[in-house]
């Protein structure tokens, strides 16, 4: 009945929905919003690719196969290949404990897991410098056994694990809490073992949320700059990741090469966003847990 009223009155040209803005206000607000997003999101993204291809495809390709750039790409892939699985296992363990059981201190534990989000990346790197640096207790001890942590790959991996620590757990905890424990209890009462329950019941329920968490974790692991820059020592060809290599090239005014390496990282970000959007359209916003 109210709908009929509304549609009949909408045919009269003088009518304006009193619970909405006028057309002019709408158009102005949309234009203002789009202008803001254009200046802050679209143009920066476009400029990365424009600058990268400024001197044509040949120079772009040259910048990527150059030995230091290739070494940086390999190191970034290696670091992500170690850090992401570690945080994946942690995310699964933590979300199982938090979502499937009721225990004391749970919300405090969730706060602790979120902690790296509120710590400056530079400080994330600094804590390892203090722990393993030259004037710490641990650093010289490990060094006497030939183990290098700082200014070497292990330090970069540790700093990356630190900053990407919450990503998988953060996606899985709300998702698994929503799903409750009914499915697992049914499987167990039908005689499945704990591992079987996890593998055949829980994992299929959470796979898309898990995939999304891994994607975000990976994007951050490959793109981390501040924390890694503090622990890496930036030795070309050895401890230089892609974002650090971008910085070095940029500071040398080698813009085309800097933006060429940056464009790979920007492409990775676009793939991450595309997959996220696809997962949300396909499986609803619930498939990708809560917010970040």
Partner 1 sequence: MTNIAAAAPARWRLKQPSIIPGFGLTLGFSLAYLSLIILIPVAGLFWRSAELGWAGFFAILGDERTLRALYVSFGTALAAALVNVVFGTLVAWMLSRYSFPGRKLIDAMVDLPFALPTAVAGIALTTLYAPQGWIGSLFMPFRIAFTPLGIVIALVFIGLPFVVRTVQPVMEEIDREIEEAAATLGANRFQTIRRVLLPGLMPAILTGFALAFARGVGEYGSVIFIAGNIPYVSEIAPLLIVIRLEEFNYAGATAIATIMLIISFLMLLVINLIQAWSRRRYGNA
Binders of partner 1 among 110-139, rule CB under 8 A?
Answer: 111-116, 118-123, 126-131, 133, 135
CB of 57 to partner 1, least distance (A): 20
The verdict on 203 binding partner 1 (CB under 8 A) reads no
For partner 1, the binding residues in 80-99 under the rule CB under 8 A are: 89-90, 92-94, 96-97
The verdict on 260 binding partner 1 (CB under 8 A) reads no
Burial of residue 157, with CB atoms counted within 10 A of its CB: 0-12 exposed, 13-18 middle, 19 or more buried = buried
**How many angstroms separate the first and last alpha carbons of the chain?**
42
Distance CA 125, CA 266 (A): 23
Residues making up the chain, counted from first to last: 292
Q: Which of 15, 36, 199, 200 binds partner 1 (CB under 8 A)?
A: 36
Q: Which of 11, 13, 67, 102 binds partner 1 (CB under 8 A)?
A: 102
CB of 39 to partner 1, least distance (A): 6
Distance CA 153, CA 239 (A): 6
Q: Which of 165, 173, 214, 287 binds partner 1 (CB under 8 A)?
A: 165
- Residue where the block lists tokens 């070095």: 248
Distance CA 242, CA 246 (A): 6
CB of 162 to partner 1, least distance (A): 6
Stretch near partner 1 under the rule CB under 8 A, chosen from 19-27, 57-65, 139-147, 206-214: 19-27
One DSSP character per residue, 47-93 reads: HHHHHHTTTHHHHHHHHHHSHHHHHHHHHHHHHHHHHHHHHHHHHHH
Total number of residues that touch partner 1 (CB under 8 A): 100
One DSSP character per residue, 250-288 reads: HHTT-HHHHHHHHHHHHHHHHHHHHHHHHHHHHH-GGGG
Q: Which of 57, 101, 145, 253 binds partner 1 (CB under 8 A)?
A: 101
The verdict on 77 binding partner 1 (CB under 8 A) reads no
Stretch near partner 1 under the rule CB under 8 A, chosen from 7-15, 60-68, 204-212, 246-254: 246-254
Q: Which of 59, 66, 68, 247 binds partner 1 (CB under 8 A)?
A: 247
CB of 26 to partner 1, least distance (A): 6
The tokens describing 48, both together, are 């990365």
Nearest of 266, 292, 289 to residue 279 by alpha carbon: 289
Q: Which of 103, 190, 191, 253 binds partner 1 (CB under 8 A)?
A: 103
Distance CA 213, CA 211 (A): 5
The tokens describing 148, both together, are 């290098």
The verdict on 79 binding partner 1 (CB under 8 A) reads no
The verdict on 142 binding partner 1 (CB under 8 A) reads no
For partner 1, the binding residues in 180-199 under the rule CB under 8 A are: 181, 184-185, 188-189, 194, 197-198
CB of 83 to partner 1, least distance (A): 10
């Amino acid at each position: 009945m109210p709908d009929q009223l509304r549609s009949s009155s909408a045919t009269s040209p003088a009518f304006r929905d009193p619970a909405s803005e006028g057309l002019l206000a709408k158009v102005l607000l949309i234009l203002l919003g789009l202008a803001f997003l254009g200046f802050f999101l679209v143009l920066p993204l476009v400029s990365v690719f424009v600058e990268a291809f400024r001197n044509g495809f040949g120079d772009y390709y040259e910048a990527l196969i150059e030995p230091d750039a290739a070494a940086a790409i390999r190191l970034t892939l290696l670091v992500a290949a170690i850090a992401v699985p570690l945080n994946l296992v942690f995310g699964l363990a933590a979300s199982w404990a938090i979502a499937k059981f009721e225990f004391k201190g749970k919300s405090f534990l969730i706060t602790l897991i979120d902690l790296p989000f509120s710590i400056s990346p530079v400080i994330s790197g600094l804590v390892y410098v203090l722990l393993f640096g030259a004037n710490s207790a641990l650093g010289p001890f490990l060094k006497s056994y030939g183990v290098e942590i700082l200014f070497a790959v292990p330090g970069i991996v540790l700093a990356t694990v630190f900053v990407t620590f919450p990503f998988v757990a953060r996606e899985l905890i709300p998702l698994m809490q929503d799903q409750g424990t009914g499915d697992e209890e049914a499987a167990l009462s039908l005689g499945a073992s704990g591992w079987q329950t996890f593998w055949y019941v829980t994992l299929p329920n959470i796979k898309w949320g898990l995939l999304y968490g891994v994607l975000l974790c990976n994007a951050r692991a490959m793109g981390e700059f501040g924390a890694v820059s503090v622990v890496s020592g930036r030795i070309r060809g050895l401890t230089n990741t892609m974002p650090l290599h971008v910085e070095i090239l940029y500071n040398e005014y080698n813009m085309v090469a800097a933006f060429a390496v940056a464009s790979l990282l920007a492409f990775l970000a676009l793939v991450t966003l595309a997959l996220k959007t696809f997962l949300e359209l396909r499986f609803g916003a619930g498939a990708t847990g809560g917010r970040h």
